């Protein structure tokens, strides 16, 4: 636990009035008050400070000048924290470029494995253990069902811990090709484009594997049992009762109809990778100690609604989704496991009778952002005719001279 730390950062040159409504601004206005006595773990404080400093003079940056109109543009460095909604576009683009050449040219099923909400409290005190068990139970379930057909599946799994209102909703998105490599590696075993595995059977096996793993972790002394698990009862008794209830409840594994070819899969991956719990565009206002944000109501045909929460409650909800340091939230299993990935992909391509594309040349930040966001980061936003060149590097925390920057001229990722 750490004591409260000062919130630093803020708008750079060109800020001439109202601050933009962002997660960073929520922390600037209410972060210090929240940190006082909050007793947060160090990695939570680190994430807050990174988000607040992102793209501000606190992280330094560069000054660029137009070769036509002579205007100066200040570009502040990104924090590159994975929980920050302001940056990450460049990192996501580079990851997608890498995935593009590794995707098999077959339809892909999307599956979602969701933990029962009765496990939420246990997950608060045992994040890594619970999340690792989720990855293991889901991947082993899929491999077991594929094994019954004599094959090995490819699995890309992405952890999400939130719903649209920032409540804890722990689930795993899995992408699985509509086919598998035979165990003897001599055949590609196609799977119907309309049916992967029976979801009711998947749900039963997934539930058993996860709860067995949870019981085993407890037996090895790897679980912290909070007293609030069942007030008035001994934690051990409460844990046994929880397992018993969860074994009787139906769990749900969702399987969506297959996505199309590689382009459709990449669009799906772009939505679910390297995303923060809430994007800046969903935060509508910060007024009178209340944060108002937009969300989709899944129970009302995805109707777009708004909700206001006290700032401390909003921050507390966001912090539920800060991952443990070094935790890997995107993982590959089966055919895509790192150890034999290249060999497996080459074998699959041969059996599917297509030649994989060669690795593309490494693209510059300029070219990647032009491809992904259709934004030319070297074009002058003032005269829209000239080109920008870097004329100075601004070190961290250095005071910068005043200049005027038009809205929306910040770079996507300047680190």
Average pLDDT score, the chain = 86
Would you tell me the crossing angle of helices 89-100 and 365-373 to the nearest 10 degrees?
A: 80
What are 8's two structure tokens?
């630093």
Query: pLDDT value at position 372?
Result: 64
Query: pLDDT value at position 354?
Result: 87
Q: Indicate the pTM of the whole model.
A: 0.87
Structure confidence by residue, pLDDT tens digits, 270-308: 777 777 899 999 999 999 999 999 999 999 999 999 999
* Contact (CB, 8 A) for 117 and 169: yes
Q: 32 CB contacts (<8 Å, ≥6 apart)?
A: 4, 6, 7
What letters, b where the CB count within 10 A reaches 16 and e where it falls short, cover 265-290? beebbbeebbbbbbebebbeebeeee
* Contact (CB, 8 A) for 215 and 209: no
Residue 130's nearest CA partner among 163, 168, 165, 156 is 168
Higher per-residue confidence, 242 vs 87: 242
Distance CA 311, CA 29 (A): 9
Structure confidence by residue, pLDDT tens digits, 180-208: 999 999 999 998 878 889 999 999 999 99
CA distance to 73, 97, 173, 203, 343, per residue, from 102 (Å) = 38, 9, 18, 29, 12
CA distance to 112, 117, 224, 278, per residue, from 274 (Å) = 17, 24, 29, 12
Which residues pair with residue 91 across a beta bridge?
A: none
The percentage of residues in the chain with a pLDDT greater than 70, rounded to a whole number, is: 90
Which residues pair with residue 234 across a beta bridge?
A: none
What are 389's two structure tokens?
């060149």
Res. 121: pLDDT tops 50: yes
Distance CA 112, CA 118 (A): 18
* Contact (CB, 8 A) for 407 and 87: no
Structure confidence by residue, pLDDT tens digits, 356-384: 777 777 777 777 777 766 778 899 999 99
* Contact (CB, 8 A) for 356 and 26: no
Taken in order 135, 140, 143, 144, the sign of the CA dihedral is negative
**pLDDT interval class at 329 (50, 70, 90):** very high
* Contact (CB, 8 A) for 305 and 314: no
Q: In terms of C-beta density within 10 A (0-12 exposed, 13-18 middle, 19 or more buried), how is residue 179 classed?
A: buried
* Contact (CB, 8 A) for 128 and 239: no
Q: In 74-126, which residue ranges form alpha helices assigned H by DSSP?
A: 89-100, 120-125
Q: What's the first-to-final CA gap in the chain, in angstroms?
A: 30
Q: If you write DSSP's letter for every residue of 143-162 in order, what string do you get? A: HHHHHTTTEE-EEEEEEEEE
Find the length of the chain: 415
- The alpha carbon of residue 82 and the mean position of all alpha carbons in its chain are separated, in whole angstroms, by 7
Query: pLDDT value at position 2?
Result: 34
Structure confidence by residue, pLDDT tens digits, 27-38: 999 988 777 766
Query: pLDDT value at position 270?
Result: 74
Other beta carbons within 10 Å of 22: 21
Distance CA 25, CA 14 (A): 16
Query: pLDDT value at position 14?
Result: 40
Query: pLDDT value at position 131?
Result: 98
Other beta carbons within 10 Å of 306: 11
**pLDDT interval class at 217 (50, 70, 90):** very high
């Amino acid at each position: 636990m750490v004591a409260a730390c000062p919130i630093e950062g803020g708008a750079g040159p060109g800020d001439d009035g109202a601050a933009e409504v962002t997660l960073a601004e929520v922390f600037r206005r209410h972060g210090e008050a929240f940190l006082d006595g909050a007793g947060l773990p160090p990695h939570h404080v680190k994430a807050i400070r990174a988000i607040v400093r992102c793209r501000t003079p606190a992280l330094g940056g560069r000054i660029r000048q137009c070769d036509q109109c002579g205007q100066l543009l200040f570009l502040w460095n990104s924090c590159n924290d994975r929980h920050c909604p302001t940056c990450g576009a460049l990192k996501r683009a580079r990851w997608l470029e890498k995935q593009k050449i590794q995707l098999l040219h077959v339809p892909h099923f999307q599956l979602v494995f969701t933990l029962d909400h009765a496990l939420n409290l246990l997950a608060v005190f045992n994040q890594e253990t619970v999340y690792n068990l989720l990855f293991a139970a889901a991947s082993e379930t899929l491999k077991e069902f594929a094994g019954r057909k004599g094959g090995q599946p490819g699995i890309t799994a992405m952890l999400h811990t939130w719903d649209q209102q920032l409540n804890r909703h722990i689930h795993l998105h899995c992408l699985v090709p509509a086919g598998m490599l035979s165990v003897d590696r001599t055949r590609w075993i196609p799977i119907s484009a309309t049916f992967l595995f029976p979801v009711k059977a998947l749900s039963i096996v997934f539930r058993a594997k996860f709860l067995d793993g949870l019981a085993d972790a407890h037996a090895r002394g790897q679980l912290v049992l909070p007293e609030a698990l069942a007030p008035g009862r001994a934690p051990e008794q409460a844990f046994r009762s929880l397992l018993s209830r969860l074994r009787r409840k139906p769990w749900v594994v969702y399987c969506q109809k297959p996505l199309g070819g590689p382009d459709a899969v990449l669009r799906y991956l772009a939505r679910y990778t390297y995303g923060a719990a809430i994007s800046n565009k969903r935060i509508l206002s910060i007024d009178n100690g209340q944060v108002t944000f937009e969300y989709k109501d899944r129970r009302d045909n995805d109707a777009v609604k708004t909700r206001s929460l006290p700032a401390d409650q909003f921050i507390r909800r966001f912090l539920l989704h800060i991952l443990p340091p070094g935790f890997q939230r995107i993982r590959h299993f089966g055919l895509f496991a790192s150890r034999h990935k290249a060999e497996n992909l080459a074998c699959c391509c041969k059996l599917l009778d297509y030649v994989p594309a060669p690795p593309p040349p490494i693209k510059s930040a300029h070219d990647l952002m032009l491809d992904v966001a259709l934004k030319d980061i070297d074009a002058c936003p003032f005269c829209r005719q000239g080109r920008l060149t870097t004329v100075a590097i601004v070190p961290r925390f250095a005071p910068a001279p005043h200049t005027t920057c038009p809205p929306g001229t910040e770079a996507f990722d300047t680190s």
